[in-house]
Structure 1
Amino acid sequence: MSEKSEASDRTGPSAASTGTAPGPQPESIRFFGTTWVERDGRYALRRVGVALGSLAAAVASCFVLRFAYQGLEIADIGSFVGILVVLMFGICSAIAFRKTWEGFSRRPAEPAGEDNLRNLKTIGFIGSLLAYFFRSFLEAPGEKLRRTEYEAAVAQYAKRRSARTGNPAGRKTPKGRKPRRK
């Protein structure tokens, strides 16, 4: 069964005829789609895959950086520049880890600040990969944030729906007035 037909089976016949369920829709997470909502569709296998993939990418990246450092040693540029390169990657990786980890639990207060850190996070990509690896042990990276937002939206939608008194199209028109035609 495809994911689309599984979704329509869960939501009922009215949603199947329109293609989407009424109300708020869950936000998709990279590598997980919307399987995080019900934790179905091989969710656990995907978490293991993300953890192993991010760890393998981090290890491969460390080897690439090691080869780059060996290139600096071969060029004989001096120990000071070598120390600066190691410090730069270490500090950038630590900042990227922290910012990526924070991004899993809350939205950035100012998106412009995140854009300014994009280059720093690119240099410290190993930190971001390690954040993905460690977060995959707890949940799909970013699941907690999206789950709280989705549950709040569903609760707000249910509250708005319960406040309605009925179908306005089914109301009778007052005597003496004919309904408008389009």
Structure 2
Amino acid sequence: MSDAHGTPDRTPATPSGPQPEPLRFFGTTWVDHSRGYAARRLGVAVGSLAVAAAACFVLRFAYQGLQIAAVGSFVSLLVVVMFAVCSALAFGHTWSSFSTRPDPDRQSSLRGLLTIGFIGSLLAYFFRSLTEAPGEKLHRAEYETAREEYDRRVTRRSGNPARKRRRDA
């Protein structure tokens, strides 16, 4: 009983079949583009671009610290190239993870590289959120495939298949 009036508890029935997988920042709004989907996409785009700009600003201070420490031009160049290469690789990896599921073993081995190149990942989020929720295309394809398979399994055949008339060729 849910209250003093004696009304029974009723839990809403969950729909049968596969359920959509929630996306970070979007939940399941990507399925039907409801409940502020466009505002969330705008928020992700603006947020990822703002964080990337702030990160570049912080990296600029780090580079100036290297110049003040007078570590030499080779080390300064090495740091700049390292961040550029790691950002480019992180962008490519993040971008490809929006269309295919990444291998968990490869993902764990690239964790350090992705951490150093986080600016590339943020930029990939920014560019993808201009067209769709990051990962929406992959999740939509998987969800539709799962729904089709479920519908095929639960669809009942009419009649007895043993009595099916055969066509003479």
Band of TM-score, shorter chain: 0.7 to 0.9
Correspondence 1:145 to 2:142:
no
Amino acid at match of 1:76: A
- CA drift of 1:113 comes to 1.1
Partner of 1:6 in structure 2?
A: none
CA–CA separation in structure 2 for the residues paired with 1:160 and 1:118? 40
**CA offsets, 1:22-70, max 9 Å, x none?**
1100000000000000000010010000000000000000000000010
CA–CA separation in structure 1 for the residues paired with 2:78 and 2:157? 64
Partner of 2:33 in structure 1?
A: 39
Partner of 2:14 in structure 1?
A: 20
- CA drift of 1:164 comes to 6.7
- Percent identical: 63
Partner of 1:160 in structure 2?
A: 153
- CA drift of 1:90 comes to 0.1
- CA drift of 1:163 comes to 3.7
Correspondence 1:135 to 2:128:
yes
Correspondence 1:87 to 2:74:
no
Correspondence 1:57 to 2:51:
yes
- CA drift of 1:114 comes to 1.3
- CA drift of 1:138 comes to 1.0
- CA drift of 1:18 comes to 4.8
Amino acid at match of 1:121: L
| CA root-mean-square deviation | 1.4
Amino acid at match of 2:150: Y
Return the match for 1:100 from 91, 94, 117.
94
Select the structure that is richer in helix: 1
**CA offsets, 1:139-180, max 9 Å, x none?**
000000000000000000000010477xxxxxxxxxxxxxxx
> Which ranges of structure 2 fall in alignment gaps of 5 or more residues?
1-9, 159-169
Amino acid at match of 1:158: D
Partner of 2:3 in structure 1?
A: none
> Which ranges of structure 1 fall in alignment gaps of 5 or more residues?
1-15, 166-182
CA–CA separation in structure 2 for the residues paired with 1:67 and 1:20? 52
TM-score calculated relative to the size of structure 1: 0.79
Partner of 1:119 in structure 2?
A: 112
Q: Secondary structure at the match of 1:138?
A: coil
Correspondence 1:77 to 2:71:
yes
Amino acid at match of 2:40: R
CA–CA separation in structure 1 for the residues paired with 2:104 and 2:156? 35
